[in-house]
Structure 1
Amino acid sequence: MKALNERDIRGSFINCSKGEAKRLALPRDLAERPWENLDFLGWRDHTAHERAYLVAEGEEGPVGVALRIVPARDGFRPTLCSLCLTTHRGEGVTLMSAPKAGKAGREGNTIGLRMCSDFACSLYIRGLREPGPGGGRIVESLTVEEQAARARENLAGFLERLRS
């Protein structure tokens, strides 16, 4: 992924107002992110635990979405991330809910996605981070690049559903 700056990030959001995008808490470590190994940028809001944000590369530039973290209810059962297919126990996979873009979102319509709560999908795929105890990666015949492409495709589908 191409490194993003504050302006790129704040201007990318499709499901919140410009004012909300201007006020959201950005990650404190943008300069230290391993951009060359990321398929998207995701972070939890350090000022409000229930909020998170995600920015992915789109055909016409970065596409950002504001997310709400839905509290886990089945903490001991392993859960599978919809993007990278990594399993985690506890709160390692979280249901993220996002308001749809435009009028549908203002009317309260949302889309949900189960994903790694630490937004490290790209690092799990590349073997640069290991899931916690009780978690793991599915052994498959796809190459790392094919797995990364699938995660980007899964994310693109989610973003497209938010737009429509």
Structure 2
Amino acid sequence: MKPLTENEIRASFVNASKREVGQASLPDLAGLDWERLDYLGWRDSKRPLGYAVVVVDDEPRGIVLRAAPPPAALGGRRRSAICAWCEDPIETQDVSLYVAKRSGAEGRKGDTVGTLICTEFACSANVRRKPTFAELGSTDPDAREQFVERRVAGLRERSARFVAQV
């Protein structure tokens, strides 16, 4: 992902008011490894919000996401789930339901769209992890590299498709 400035990030949000954009907490941009990010995602430290900036049609598009309360907070058990963006079958314990208000008139009417995403937005790291033999069926380094490339491409496509729905 191309490095973004604070102004570029704030200007990219498609489903937030000016007030919401101004109140958004941002991650430490200087400490990010931009070359290993397929999208920029982070959680608000003070509110149950998440943010994601995804490249759609070569432009950054940011969305504000509301995190559903974890089942444990509602008296239930946390269940395993697969992130809809990275589809990692190994990291299934730290996945949360995130809901985004749609942009424009639909969002002002209260329309939303939701999906399961890694709670800490670790999808870029998940798709780059070394695949297990069961996933790949081979120990060939070239096959491993191609497998990771397909996972990276899938993450980019699925996250961009979700943002386009917003």
User: Could you say which TM-score interval applies, normalised by the shorter chain?
Assistant: 0.7 to 0.9
The CA distance in 2 between the partners of 1:120 and 1:19, in whole Å, is 27
The CA distance in 1 between the partners of 2:135 and 2:85, in whole Å, is 15
Shift in CA distance, 22/127, structure 1 to aligned 2, threshold 3 Å = same
Q: One-letter code of the match for 2:15?
A: N
Q: Say yes or no: does 1:147 pair with 2:151.
A: yes
Aligned pairs, number: 153
Q: One-letter code of the match for 1:52?
A: G
CA contact (8 A) 2:70 2:78 kept: no
The CA deviation string for residues 107-143 of structure 1, in whole angstroms up to 9 with x for no partner, is: 1100001010010101111118xxxxxxx9x824762
Matches within 5 A, 1:12-27: 12-27=12-27
The CA distance in 2 between the partners of 1:52 and 1:122, in whole Å, is 16
Q: One-letter code of the match for 1:61?
A: E
Displacement after TM superposition at 1:24 (Å): 1.0
Task: Report SS of the residue matched to 2:135.
Answer: coil
Displacement after TM superposition at 1:57 (Å): 1.3
Task: Report SS of the residue matched to 1:63.
Answer: strand
- Identical counterparts, % of pairs: 38
Tell me which residue corresponds to 2:9.
9
Matches within 5 A, 1:63-78: 63-73=61-71, 75-78=77-80
Displacement after TM superposition at 1:159 (Å): 1.1
Task: Look at both structures and tell me which one has the larger radius of gyration over its CA atoms.
Answer: 2
Task: Report SS of the residue matched to 1:65.
Answer: strand
Displacement after TM superposition at 1:3 (Å): 0.8
The CA distance in 1 between the partners of 2:112 and 2:126, in whole Å, is 27
CA contact (8 A) 1:11 1:18 kept: no
The CA distance in 1 between the partners of 2:18 and 2:44, in whole Å, is 17
Q: One-letter code of the match for 2:87?
A: L
CA contact (8 A) 1:25 1:45 kept: yes
Q: One-letter code of the match for 2:165?
A: R
Displacement after TM superposition at 1:47 (Å): 2.0
The CA distance in 1 between the partners of 2:10 and 2:111, in whole Å, is 22
CA contact (8 A) 1:75 1:89 kept: no
Tell me which protein shows more strand as a share of its residues: 1
CA contact (8 A) 1:76 1:89 kept: no
Tell me which protein shows more helix as a share of its residues: 2
The CA distance in 2 between the partners of 1:76 and 1:97, in whole Å, is 18
Shift in CA distance, 89/146, structure 1 to aligned 2, threshold 3 Å = closer
Aligned-pair RMSD on alpha carbons? 2.3
Task: Report SS of the residue matched to 2:105.
Answer: helix
TM-score (norm 1): 0.84
Displacement after TM superposition at 1:23 (Å): 2.1
